[in-house]
Amino acid sequence: MINAVTKQPIGRALVYSADRRYAMLTDSEGHFEFTVPKVAADTASSFSYSGEPAQMWSTGAAGRLTWLLARKPGFLDDPNGRTQFDGTPGSEVAISLMPEALIKGRVTLPAAEPTNGIDLQLYSRQIQDGSPRWMLKNSVRTKSNGEFRFAELGPGSYKVLTREWMDNDRISAVPGAQLYGFPPLYYPSATDFATAATIHLTAGQTFQADLSLIRKPYYPVKIPVANADQNGGMNINVSLQGQRGPGYSLGYNREKQVVEGLLPNAKYLVEAESYGPNPASGSVNIDVAGAPVEGPVMAMVRTNSIPVNVKEEFSSKQPDTHAIWRTGNREFSLRGPRLDLQISAEAMEEFGQPRGGSMRQPAGPNDDSLVLENLAPGRYWLRLTAARGYVASATMGGTDLLREPLVVVPGASTPIDITLRDDYAELQGTLLVTPVTPPGSAHPTWAAYIDCIPVPDSPGQFLEVPASYDGKFDSQRVAPGAYRVIAFASQQQNLPYRDPEAMKFYETKGQIVHFASGQKVTLQLQSISSSE
């Protein structure tokens, strides 16, 4: 058992089998050993597992010792470690664990006010479908001395903020007295999420993040809502100066049909999205300036539905295929574009769970119409997945939706036109490396992953091709276009291939390759790590 960073042995780590029949602690040198009953050779079997925890290996016969797991407080699964081991009796297994990173600090208040019970949130930068997004990682509450701690963190980028905290006792407060609170603070002293400092953690690092809150007056806010669906719920988002991010909040009173709460002095964008049988959205701008705010009225408008036209220009002949769609007690077949293409829209935001629209379900066996629905006004990326062929083009008016965002305005009805083709190009080649069989493994593992990344302003679709243990790779499904082709030594789970700024790091990596329809391209590539 070794430390994935220092390569030093890890003592007192627990190593155990998935069925809990075998378990032991490593010694001071990180060693462990299991005595496995002998079995007939023809009963041997191998296993693989990719879930949590990730460190699992097969070590022999079915029904005997199968997967090995390892854990120790202060350590995490090594993301670069192997997740499959085909062991043989007498073989040695090197299991690595990564030391956890920490973010800790102290929240202080003016004078001697108690700091117990202040909530903090930690957001981590993650990549979803090639786009960066800040997602909530964890929440903690300060101790009585104001200290907090975020533990079990892996290498990555993070942001820390405090939640709003009212210092008034609302029960015993004098009616009409001024209310005070502490607005959200974004480390180290920013007033909104966008300008907060990004904390870049390495494995095993401890980062000190202290915050000093400022006490400010808060004022009541009431925003009447018109055209609200009383049978559905509502999500409220409050953005300081229109900068989307976590921190501020208001609630929705369904009985009074009012968005209400408390906010300090500032200008805000308040947005609402209802969910239920009749989804709608609305927004208003308010200015809290030393007095309560009532209004303006927020008018809820039904979300947009945009028709989609799909043209299939397939050159290959394929037997008629269909899928069964079931709704309630009815079922019918799906064919053509409704079966061949999946479409969704994802809001262009770097914060929180992605919002967007999806395809309307078919109403019956003769409903071949494609409609992208539940789109509130805003900017979206169109997400297209072809089950047959590839998306050669997607336009809305004069906008290329493969390269530019889908802009939705109230009442928008301009259709989206999509063309599917299947005149793929082919990629094949070899890696300029010597195949290696890991110690203790009966079979070599993949040597690399080849990522085909469309260059800006060029057609093409991101494609990942695994290389075999002998260094060869092949794909017959490359959409025509210009690509940067890079061979990575390990699979890139978080490659921000839709972020031009982040991809500048790779401008000198790999090769620029142009794929034409029906063309076969042969390459020789040198694999690299993601940090090279």
Q: What pairing do the DSSP bridges indicate for beta strands 206-208 and 101-108?
A: parallel
Flag whether 532 is in a domain.
Answer: no
Are 116 and 203 contained in the same domain? Answer: yes
Distance between CA atoms of residues 523 and 520, nearest Å: 10
Q: What is the DSSP string of 166-225?
A: E-S-TTTSPTTPPEEEE---BTTTBSSSTTSPPEEE-TT-EEE--EE---EEEEEEEEEE
Task: Tell me the pLDDT tens digit for each residue of 371-392.
Answer: 999 888 889 999 999 989 999 9
Task: Tell me the pLDDT tens digit for each residue of 190-213.
Answer: 999 999 999 999 999 999 999 999
Q: Identify whether the C-beta of residue 298 lies closer than 8 Å to the C-beta of residue 284.
A: yes
Percent of residues, the chain, with pLDDT higher than 90: 49
Distance between CA atoms of residues 500 and 378, nearest Å: 21
Are 408 and 467 contained in the same domain? Answer: no
Which whole number is the average pLDDT over 299-308? 91
Which whole number is the average pLDDT over 127-144? 91
Distance between CA atoms of residues 63 and 43, nearest Å: 9
Last residue of a domain, one of 80, 99, 118: 99
Flag whether 530 is in a domain.
Answer: no
Are 272 and 308 contained in the same domain? Answer: no
Flag whether 531 is in a domain.
Answer: no
Task: Tell me the pLDDT tens digit for each residue of 399-446.
Answer: 999 888 999 988 777 999 999 999 999 999 999 876 555 544 555 555
| CATH code for the domain in which residue 494 is found | 2.60.40.1120
Q: Does the structure show a pLDDT above 80 at 258?
A: yes
Considering the chain, what is the average pLDDT of its residues?
84
**Residue 336 to residues 39, 318, 369, Cα–Cα distance (Å):** 53, 11, 11
Flag whether 105 is in a domain.
Answer: yes
Are 321 and 364 contained in the same domain? Answer: yes
Flag whether 57 is in a domain.
Answer: yes
Q: Does the structure show a pLDDT above 50 at 56?
A: no
**Residue 283 to residues 160, 223, 230, 258, 449, Cα–Cα distance (Å):** 27, 10, 18, 13, 45
Q: What is the pLDDT of residue 72?
A: 92
Q: What is the pLDDT of residue 117?
A: 86
| CATH code for the domain in which residue 120 is found | 2.60.40.10
Are 293 and 386 contained in the same domain? Answer: no
99's CB contacts (< 8 A; 6+ apart) are 3, 4, 5, 74, 75, 76, 203, 204
Distance between CA atoms of residues 121 and 114, nearest Å: 19
The tokens describing 76, both together, are 């995490």
Are 78 and 109 contained in the same domain? Answer: no
User: What is residue 131's DSSP assignment?
Assistant: E
| CATH code for the domain in which residue 350 is found | 2.60.40
The tokens describing 130, both together, are 């090639």
Are 208 and 118 contained in the same domain? Answer: yes
CA dihedral 398, 404, 410, 415 (to 10 degrees): 50
Q: What is the pLDDT of residue 292?
A: 96
Domain of residue 513 covers 425-525
Work out the number of other CB atoms within 10 angstroms of the CB of residue 354.
Answer: 19
Number of structural domains in the chain: 5
Are 45 and 55 contained in the same domain? Answer: yes
Are 230 and 172 contained in the same domain? Answer: no
Q: Identify whether the C-beta of residue 15 lies closer than 8 Å to the C-beta of residue 57.
A: no
Which whole number is the average pLDDT over 233-259? 89
Q: What is the DSSP string of 219-253?
A: EEEEEEEES--TTSEEEEEEEETTB--SS---EEE
Phi, psi at 320, each rounded to 5°: -60, 125
Distance between CA atoms of residues 124 and 121, nearest Å: 10
Task: Tell me the pLDDT tens digit for each residue of 63-98.
Answer: 444 567 888 999 998 776 654 444 445 667 778 899
- pTM of the predicted protein model: 0.83
Q: Does the structure show a pLDDT above 60 at 132?
A: yes
Closest CA to 161 of 124, 126, 200: 124
Q: pLDDT band for position 173 (50/70/90)?
A: low
Distance between CA atoms of residues 525 and 12, nearest Å: 42
Report the residue count for the chain: 532
Q: What is the pLDDT of residue 177?
A: 84
Are 449 and 464 contained in the same domain? Answer: yes
Distance between CA atoms of residues 444 and 95, nearest Å: 17
Are 410 and 320 contained in the same domain? Answer: yes
List the strands of the sheet with 68-71, edge to edge: 23-25, 14-17, 68-71
Flag whether 40 is in a domain.
Answer: yes
Phi, psi at 218, each rounded to 5°: -115, 150
Last residue of a domain, one of 99, 120, 149: 99
Helix, strand, coil percentages, rounded to 5, for the chain: 0, 45, 50
Last residue of a domain, one of 277, 302, 327: 302
Q: Which residue has the tokens 């079922």?
A: 331
Task: Tell me the pLDDT tens digit for each residue of 472-515.
Answer: 999 999 999 999 999 998 888 889 998 888 899 999 999 999 99
Are 312 and 381 contained in the same domain? Answer: yes
Q: Three-class SS string for 107-163?
A: EECCCCCCCCCCEEEEEEEEEECCEEEEEEEEEEECCCCCEEEEEEECCEEEEEEEC
